[in-house]
Structure 1
Amino acid sequence: MTMALTTGLTDLVRESLGAPLAEIADQHVDLLGSGPGALSTTSLHRVRGTTTCGATWSFFVKTIHSIRHMPGYADIPEPLRTAALAHFPWRADADVYLAGPRLPRGLRLPRLYRLDDLGDDRLVMWLEDVRVAPATWDLDRYRAAARRLGDLAAVQPVAGRSSAPREPINRGLRYYCAGPLANLFLPAVRDPATWRHPLVAANADPLLQADLLALADRIEPLLEALDRLPHTLVHGDASPANLLIPADGSADFVAIDWSWPYPAAVGFDLGQLLVGRAHTGDLDPADLPAVHEVIEAAYAAAVAGLADPSEVSFGYAATLVLRSAWTAIPFERLGQEPTAELHDLFRKRAGLARFIVDLGRSLLP
């Protein structure tokens, strides 16, 4: 972090502590990284210290950028590069903090203390460094999270139920399917070499590739069916890692890393809630059915005035398929050393893919 980013730090410390006369005694900057898959995140830092009176302070500092600053952007073929620049919502997280959306009881944002515009489509967010309570993601925790996400959908509807086709509303999902999915992920699924790789061959069932490819033929019908559902504003990446449990009890969850500034069908946020810990290998495939059942029921109860259970079930399953079926197996890690730990991750991720495929096969005739 450059010294330019710490300009006015004393004022931020005073504001965060509610102490207008506080003075900084010492300060430290810890580099936390940018996180895997964070295409628009330049860096994450923790800036912390103490005051001359002995009070401690800390900020979570997130630097984000347009996708054109992403490493490897120049290697993307021109038509895809132009589409990515036009559609990738690199500043979605910052815009949510600036807008201060209506949130349901039990869900809050971290406080945004300052937003620095560095120019050239680069922003720095100075955020509350949320102290997180030790917590286990058991079924009760999943149930509570799904309920809060349903409450979020219920307070932010953007389109009601309609029995007739409408103008396509799933702009974000359609961009994803026509862009990254069609040009990056599906080609990897179609490539026979992918399935001959020892990490895949040893852990995926023999029918998984054929089932994934058959499901790919249903992408457009699924999108069309989703357009007929009630839509809401959503978090977009509501994985357990982005639903912090604050130690001060100020909310059930502090929602961070908002990523989807588009309307989405009811049930949309449940997909990332399900797959988040499965992606990291912390949730075993054997536990997916129980989590799936719990979160769908809790969310459906929360949105009962907006959508009926069948609409929630379809919206959840269809968006889960479109976003996660063909990315469940971590093909991007095929070049790594095939350790026992990596084999275990591929086993779990192949199990996740099988669960999503089986769910998806029941969606359309």
Structure 2
Amino acid sequence: MHDRAALGSADVSDEALATMVAGLLDTPVSSVALVDSTAELVSYDIPAITTGGRWWVRGTADVSGEHTPFTLFVKQVHEWSRSPFFADVPVEVQPWAAQQVPWRTEGAVYRSDLVDHLPTGLAMPRPFGVHDIDDLSYAVWLDVVPTVDAEWDLDRYRRAAHLLGRFAGSPAVRDRANVGGHEWDVSKYVEGRLKFQVLPMLGSDDLWHHPLLVEAFADLRPRLDRAAASVDAVAAELMALPVLAGHGDACPNNLLVTPGDDDFTMIDFGFFTALPVGFDLGQLLVGDVQIGLRPSDDLSERGAASLTSYVDGLAAEGVDIDEQAVRRAHALQLLLFTGLSALPFELLDAEPTEQVRAMAATRATIARYSLDLFDQTG
């Protein structure tokens, strides 16, 4: 019996599924016959504008006369024009905006041989199929990654930063950094999200009168205003620094801890591309803090430890860049991509509960840390 209706348009034929199961079980497809299969939607609380859905596909296959269970993970990826959030983009700029997010990159990564060239200590899910749904979407079918709910202590951050440094500096990874074919650099982010969305909101007097911001951010407005006025210079300085490779969203949520070791499986490669040195340190440091999964009181300690480990990782791949230069690159990236947009815009219409006020205070800490690091390294 087969019931994969939950997949909708992301489903494939039984023949295609049998081929992927054969790959999963490392057996000839001629020896595999599907017995049953089901699809179940994966619950996921963190919104992603290019993700149309995530599912478990489970079932049983007859492999040379033996019934063998299998599980695959399926993710549907689409152009972000299909996201509900796209409705907030003014109609006159929607065609341009739709082209700014590299939704094809993840599929290109899983179609590539990047998996064979990752530094020791890093892995990625084994891909068994990338199936086009239509011109604006596709589905990736992946191995299930065994994970443990491990504590992200200082040593784990050091280990992750070291491996991200190796990832950035690896010649083999850098050779594949443009596999997505999406032309992007820091200036596109500045001209897009920052100048079109973030900076106009920062310049709104009405916004700064909101009680949530008066309480948490009032002392930061002059500093944020000065930083906003200098975004072109900040971006130019960042773009003049060495360009290596970057995951693009290397938060702990995308670095899965595997059982029995201190290695990581990287997921969500949508923003993988050539990026300025140190780029991945930003999300590693504040990714979980931004969404309330980690407190903000140890940013300085984790930041310093991660930076040193990242530079050591670069050196392990033969990339010799002074630690202070990487620290400056990290400061520039953190200010542009996190500090300026740290205000909790999405919470301004929410009831000001203690949780909401605590989140606003956390975001203010991130902004203050970003501004301080920028000033210290200038």
TM-score, normalised with respect to structure 1: 0.88
Counterpart residue identity of residue 316, structure 1: H
User: Does residue 1:296 correspond to 2:307, yes or no?
Assistant: yes
Aligned to 2:38, the other structure's residue is in SS state: strand
Task: Give yes or no for contact 2:121–2:163 (8 Å, CA) kept in 1.
Answer: yes
Give, in whole Å, the separation in 2 of the partners of 1:54 and 1:148.
Answer: 40
1:154 matched to 2:172? The reply is no
Q: Which segment is superposed worse, 88-97 or 232-241?
A: 88-97
Q: Is the 8 A contact 1:34 1:43 kept in 2?
A: no
Show structure 2 runs of 5+ residues with no match: 1-6, 176-182
Pairs aligned (count): 352
Per-residue deviation, residues 11-53 of structure 1 (Å, max 9, x unmatched): 3223212244454444332212565341111111121234465
Is it true that 1:95 corresponds to 2:91 in the alignment?
no
Assess if the C-alpha contact under 8 Å between 2:243 and 2:276 holds in 1: yes
Give 3-state SS (helix, strand or coil) of 1:49's partner.
strand
8 Å CA contact 2:110, 2:130 repeated in 1: no
Q: 1:119 aligns with which of 108, 126, 134?
A: 134
Q: Deviations over 1:145-170 (max 9, x none)?
A: 000000011114869xxxxxxxxxx9
Taking a change above 3 Å as real, the CA distance of residues 4 and 228 of structure 1, as seen in their structure-2 partners, is: closer
Report the equivalent of 1:11.
Answer: 19
Query: CA 1:75–1:356 in 2, change beyond 3 Å: closer, same or farther?
Result: closer
Trace 1:178-217 onto structure 2 (pairs within 5 A): 178-202=191-215, 204-217=216-229
| Counterpart amino acid of residue 241 in structure 1 | N
Matches within 5 A, 1:245-260: 245-247=257-259, 252-260=263-271
Distance 1:140 1:56, change over 3 A: farther
* Structure 1 runs (4+) greater than 6 angstroms displaced: none
Q: Is the 8 A contact 1:215 1:361 kept in 2?
A: no
The 10-residue stretch of structure 1 (26-35 or 308-317) with the greater mean CA deviation from structure 2: 26-35
Contact 1:34 1:42 survives alignment (8 Å) = no
SS at structure 2 position matched to 1:2:
helix
How far apart are the structure 2 equivalents of 1:171 and 1:5? 31
- 8 A contact 2:190–2:235 mirrored in 1: no
SS of structure 1 residue aligned to 2:362:
helix
Correspondence 1:128 to 2:134 = no
Identity of aligned residues (%): 33
Which deviates more, 3-12 or 312-321?
Answer: 3-12
In 1: Cα distance, 2:149 partner to 2:87 partner: 42
1:318 aligned to which of 326, 332, 337: 332
Alignment pair present for 1:42 and 2:52: yes
Alignment check: 8 A CA contact 2:10 2:133 kept = no
Superposition pairs for residues 261-272 of structure 1, below 5 Å? 261-272=272-283
Per the TM alignment, residue 265 of structure 1 is displaced from its structure 2 partner at its CA by: 1.1
Opposite residue 374 of structure 2, the aligned amino acid is G
Alpha carbons of structure 1 residues 116 and 209: separation in structure 2 relative to 1, 3 Å? same
CA contact (8 A) 1:132 1:244 kept: yes
The 10-residue stretch of structure 1 (37-46 or 14-23) with the greater mean CA deviation from structure 2: 14-23
SS of the counterpart of 1:153? helix
Gaps of 5+ in 1: 160-169
| Larger CA deviation: 88-97 vs 15-24 | 15-24
Say whether 1:105 aligns with 2:120: yes
RMSD: 2.4
- State the partner residue of 2:180: none
Deviation readout 1:200-258 (Å, 9 max, x if unpaired)? 333x1421122111111221222222232211121000000000112375x81111111
Q: CA deviation at 1:141?
A: 0.6
Cα distance in 1 for residues equivalent to 2:335 and 2:44: 27
Cα distance between partner residues in 2 of 1:5 and 1:288: 43
Asked if 1 retains the 8 angstrom alpha-carbon contact of 2:131 and 2:139, the reply is yes
Equivalent-residue separation in structure 2 for 1:309 and 1:144 (angstroms): 17
Superposed CA offset, 1:73-92 (max 9, x none): 35523563233233320121
The answer as to whether partners of 2:53 and 2:75 remain within 8 angstroms in 1 is yes
Give the aligned residue type for 1:149.
L
Aligned-partner residue type, residue 275 of structure 2: A
Distance 1:281 1:264 in 2: 27
SS of the residue corresponding to residue 286 of structure 1 reads coil
- How many angstroms apart in 1 are the aligned matches of 2:260 and 2:128? 19
Would you say 1:340 and 2:346 are equivalent positions?
Answer: no
Bigger drift between 95-104 and 125-134 goes to: 95-104
Give the match for residue 228 of structure 1. 240
